[in-house]
Chain A
Amino acid sequence: MTERFAADTRVRVRLADPLGHTRAPRYVRGRAGVVVAVHGEHPLPDAVVAGADPQDVREPVYAVRFGSDELWGVDGHSVTIELWESYLEPADD
């Protein structure tokens, strides 16, 4: 699988609110950040816990950095977190 997003791309976390397990924490949903690294391919946890074969649901995982201004409206820090490709969409702004 090729990566949809390259390093330095601005991405936004989709505003999903799944009932089941996900590794997209609420505090980054809907927020825009920058891809700082591509961290290989890993099975999507949301699908694995729902019973999918891990080999069938592998996707690229990205380290995405969010400014504290974007997350909390304050300056001074950033938060970097790994997110699976299907959690992300291109940031339009």
Chain B
Amino acid sequence: MTEVHRDSGMAPRVRALETLLEQRGVVDGAELDAILDRLLTTGSPLHGAKVVARAWTDDGFRARLLDDGTAAVGELGLSMGHGPAPVRLRVVRNTAAVHNVIVCTLCSCYPISLLGPSPSWYKSAAYRARMVRWPREVLAEFGLTLDPEVKIRVWDSSAETRYLVLPRPPEDAAGSSEAQLAARVTRAGMIGTAPM
């Protein structure tokens, strides 16, 4: 519980800082509110699930998505440009040999437009510190036990790129529609802390 208390002390500090920045004319409160509204009301994990399901069912789209995620999600009417500055999207694909997982060690960078607001554990100091050091053990704590021979690629999303994990499709995917597959994709799967 120590962690919860330490993190909760951040909110008044952020409010104090925002007030000072507004008083000095560095930021405009109304503009900030508009950005937050746009992010929080347009971002949803349903978007990410649609991207994943399309990648599972359309080989051409999958190739474009892995090559240039930012452009490819535009084909589905989605954008990485909702925040104060546009960011690049890189989609990383899980295979039988490689498992990808996303963390931001410096803060909590996250593809909000594709996944909605991030879960509280993603922002916790424990997740951020431990995922780069003990990913196999942390994933096991999430209930995802990987074979020892599977290599783990951790992506520290602390700069200009946001990452989305493309999970492996379910083994019984054949015959399912894109919408049926999208309903099976979870937010944790797209962060890399669940298989799908």
Contacts and interface: CB of A to CB of B under 8 A. Distances in A.
Contact of B106 (A23, A61, A63): A23
A20 interface: no
Contacts of B159: 23, 39, 42, 61, 81-84
B155 A80 contact: yes
Contacts, number: 59
**Residue among A40, A61, A79 with most chain B CB within 10 A:** A79
Contact of B105 (A27, A39, A83): A27
Contact of A61 (B105, B148, B160): B160
Contacts of A25: 105-106, 156, 158
A84 B161 CA distance: 13
B152 A23 contact: no
Interface in A32-66: 39-40, 42, 61, 63, 65
A40 B88 contact: yes
B82 interface: no
Contacts of A82: 156, 158-161
Interface in B141-167: 148, 151-156, 158-161
Interface in A68-85: 71-72, 76-84
Nearest to B133: A72
Contact of A80 (B88, B106, B135, B153): B153
Nearest to B146: A76
Interface in B107-145: 132-133, 135-136
The dominant DSSP class at the B interface is: mixed
Contacts of A23: 106, 158-159
Nearest to B148: A76
Contact of A76 (B88, B105, B151, B158): B151
A84 B160 CA distance: 10
A63 B153 CA distance: 13
A39 B151 CA distance: 24
A66 to B, nearest CB: 9
**Residue among A23, A61, A77, A83 with most chain B CB within 10 A:** A77
B136 A77 contact: yes
Interface in B20-69: none
7 contacts: A25-B106, A27-B105, A77-B151, A77-B154, A78-B154, A80-B154, A83-B159
8 A-B pairs with least C-beta separation: A82-B159, A77-B152, A81-B156, A79-B154, A42-B160, A79-B132, A77-B135, A80-B155
Interface of A: 23, 25, 27, 39-40, 42, 61, 63, 65, 71-72, 76-84
